[in-house]
Structure 1
Amino acid sequence: MNHNTPLSPRALRSPSDIHRRVVTAAQLRAEGVGAAEANEQCRPGGPWQQILPGVFLVHPGPPTSEERLHAVLSYAARSAASRRPAAGVPAQPGAGDPRPAPRYTDAVITGLAALTLHGFSSAPPLPSLETIDVLVPRLRRLRSTGCARIVRTSSMPTPSYVTGLPVAPVPRALADAVAELSDANAVRRLLTEAVRGGHTEPSAVVRELTQARLLNRPHVIDAVDSLVAEGRAIAEDQLYRMVREFGLPDPVWNVDLRLPGGPDLGGVDAYWPEQAVAVELDTRAPRQDEDAMWSEYARKRETLERLGITVVHITPKKLRDSLEQQATVVRTALMASCDRDPAAYVAVLPR
């Protein structure tokens, strides 16, 4: 692979070699290489190059995408003692170089680079990115420079790890990417792939976009509406599949329940009239207070259960991750109906 070869997430190598090619000034000092000697190595036509302030690439020629990622993390991470010498920098005699590769502290790849690492086909390939976004704590004294764009945050996320690299979880990476995008189609493609590809739930994305104060942008609002609709469609398909594959009796789908001559009791996604069992999917709408939304769900559930109707509350994540278990929950509720007092009669209307 030459230095211009596009790099896919699966092509990233283990960190055992990369930390010999991308080193910090602190690591060099620990190996006895001072600033003057490092600068001499980086002279025009020399064997090394300074890729970012305090970060050196110990070979000539363009950096690979892998090297750029590690360079950005090395630049943004809190300084640590060297644990592995650079290529061409000899270890201490007899040391055998038993030290592990350095870890990156308080630095997490985010934005489009993170989405590419998570496997998003709608995110640009790493070599095409002029800058790589990296999250750091808000009070860190760092500036964006070269290929590193510093993104400050008051709350560092718990990173996922892709081939050893700390990467922001998909919802946070999406929010950081969307913050820099003005192309409505690009935003919609990323959000749609996040849900359709099973990377995350719509509610998690909406939560991050809300915290990032991005829901006042019209093109983001439109994309979020499409995201929620996509999430509900996928969840409904999973619900149909659950009934079909696990032999549950056919319900009536997507109906409103109403007391005869009385108030509307609300809609449910599936209802078994003979057993008085309802299934409701939790696909909460965006831009509404989550506590208020949950209170609305709870009030409707309490009202139905006072009438003798059992309500099974299912999230899209549960359908995706444990379909058989959710089928068992519904089957148990149906079987238990004969042990309950008869439910009040309710009218069932198409929704």
Structure 2
Amino acid sequence: MDRGRWDRADGELWRHSRFGVIRASTLEELGISQKTAYRQCQPGGRWRRLLPGIMLLARSQPNERQRIEAALMLARDDAVVTGLQAARLYQLRDGMDPEFVHLLVPHGHQVLSSGFAVVERTRFLPHAIYRDGVPLAPPTRAVLDGVRRIRELDPVRALLIEAIQRGLTNTADLRRELDTGTKRGTALPRRVLNELDLGVRSVAEADALEVWHKAGLPVPHCNVVIVDSDGTYIGMPDTWCDEVGLAWEIDSNEFHYSKDAYARTLARNSRYAAAGISVVQTLPTRLRVEPDVVIAELRAAYAAAKQRPRPNVSIRKTTAA
């Protein structure tokens, strides 16, 4: 077939594709034999083979959407996208970038993983939530399927914290999903959920919690509101030791680049001082670069706070809605 005829054919074939992705069987129905189709995927051809029996009507590398469409074509009916790829489609940006398209299919399906398509059979196939025409596992299932395959703690923390802060899930739903699904790869997300139950809201605060525990200090409160005897707001420290009235703030350099943020920090520290609260301030980088030094500082601050009368402050009680 000459160039002009192929140009016309490509335009027609594109209309039968999904974002340029098409099955070899569909091409055959349109009059393109499998022999011709696969020849066009060889060096010098016009197309690219993506997965078994699935082609891209271009020589370029597939983009994210084309990879998703190819994976869904491989898995066929009832498949849903889950894991890190689904998290990205829910507009979650923390954690690790997806290296493959993770799919869930009914347990009876016989489709096998291939290339960038990872197919997981499950007896607990969730109902799909469609985003831009793509069937996704619900956010709770999607993020847990993603972090189960991550072996590093920080990306697990980052993705779960972002999903919760964005309102896509909560700790109760995450624990429920962990308890009903596979137990493989659940140790790290369970650890993160335990941190979140203590009020941790960022990776830096999780690092701080580890350092605090290594210091052997009493179990802390995280991100609780502290008030004086009249109920007037004083502050919401990153970490609070209620036994002695000690606040620990993790303040980054970037935070102080803003004049307004710096002014708020000064005002916060003034309120702490007026209430008799001892405060320790630590840069996030020090939690990993010199944790032993930070531990020594915390122990010294705790010992000093223990020697003076505890300030007349308390944690503001919250009532259930």
Change (3 A) 1:55 1:216: closer
Compute the TM-score of the two structures, normalised by the length of structure 1.
0.51
2:128 pairs with 1:159:
yes
Counterpart for residue 179 of structure 1: 148
Q: How do residues 202-281 of structure 1 correspond to structure 2 at under 5 angstroms?
A: 202-214=171-183, 217-230=186-199, 270=318, 279-280=319-320
Q: Which residue of 2 aligns with 1:106?
A: 78
Q: 2:99 aligns with which of 116, 122, 130?
A: 130
- Answer yes or no: is the 8 Å Cα contact 1:24–1:74 preserved in 2: yes
Q: Aligned pair 1:139/2:108, yes or no?
A: yes
Aligned match of 2:33: 34
- Give per-residue Cα distances to partners, 1:29-88, cap 9 Å, x unaligned: 2212221221122222100121000111011121111111111111111xxxxxxxxxxx
Q: CA deviation at 1:151?
A: 1.4
Return the offset for 1:235.
Answer: 12
Alignment of 1:11-160 (within 5 A): 19=18, 21-77=20-76, 105-125=77-97, 129-160=98-129
CA contact (8 A) 1:138 1:154 kept: yes
String of CA shifts for 1:80-108, please: whole Å, max 9, x gaps.
xxxxxxxxxxxxxxxxxxxxxxxxx2111
Describe the shift of the 1:235–1:213 C-alpha distance in structure 2 as closer, same or farther (beyond 3 A): farther
Residue 217 of structure 1: CA displacement? Answer: 4.9
Decide whether the 8 Å contact of 2:140 with 2:177 is kept in 1: yes
Instruction: Please give the alpha-carbon distance, in whole angstroms, between the structure 1 residues aligned to 2:22 and 2:58.
Output: 11
**What is the CA distance between 1:221 and its match in structure 2?**
2.3
Distance of 1:155 and 1:16 partners within structure 2? 35
What is the CA–CA distance in structure 1 between the aligned matches of 2:223 and 2:73, rounded to whole Å? Answer: 41
Q: Quick check: 2:148–2:189 contact (8 Å CA) kept in 1?
A: no
Please report how far the alpha carbon of residue 16 of structure 1 lies from its aligned counterpart in structure 2 after TM superposition.
7.5
Counterpart residue identity of residue 116, structure 1: R
Distance in 1 of aligned mates of 2:81 and 2:185: 25
**Would you say the 8 A contact 2:79–2:135 is kept in 1?**
yes
Distance 1:158 1:196, change over 3 A: same
The alignment covers a number of residue pairs equal to 199
Tell me the SS of whatever aligns to 1:44.
coil
2:162 maps to amino acid: E
User: How far is the alpha carbon of 1:124 from its aligned partner?
Assistant: 3.7
> AA paired with 1:107?
A
Q: Is the 8 A contact 1:160 1:169 kept in 2?
A: yes
Question: Does the CA contact (< 8 Å) of 1:196 and 1:231 recur in 2?
Answer: no
SS of the residue 1:32 aligns to? coil
8 Å contact 1:158–1:168 — kept in the other structure? yes
The residue type paired with residue 93 of structure 2 is S
CA 1:217/1:65 → structure 2, altered by over 3 Å: closer, same or farther? closer
Instruction: Give the Å deviation of 1:111.
Output: 0.4
- Evaluate the alpha carbon distance shift between residue 28 and residue 197 of structure 1 in structure 2; reply closer, same or farther with a 3 A threshold: same
Q: Is the 8 A contact 2:102 2:119 kept in 1?
A: yes
Contact 2:19 2:66 in 1 (8 A): no
2:233 corresponds in structure 1 to: none
Does residue 194 of structure 1 match 2:193? no
| Secondary structure of 1:23's aligned partner | strand
Per-residue deviation, residues 237-273 of structure 1 (Å, max 9, x unmatched): 9xxxxxxxxxxxxxxxxxxxxxxxxxxxxxx955xxx
| SS state at 2:18 partner | helix
Distance in 1 separating the partners of 2:136 and 2:185: 27
Measured after TM superposition, the shift of residue 130 of structure 1 is 2.8
CA shift for structure 1 position 145: 1.1
Question: Do 1:136 and 1:152's aligned partners in 2 also have CA atoms closer than 8 Å?
Answer: yes
Residues 273-299 of structure 1: per-residue CA shift (max 9 Å, x gap):
xxxxxx43xxxxxxxxxxxxxxxxxxx
Percent of paired sites with the same residue: 30
Q: Which ranges in structure 1 are unaligned for 5 or more consecutive residues?
A: 1-14, 78-104, 238-267, 271-278, 281-313, 315-351
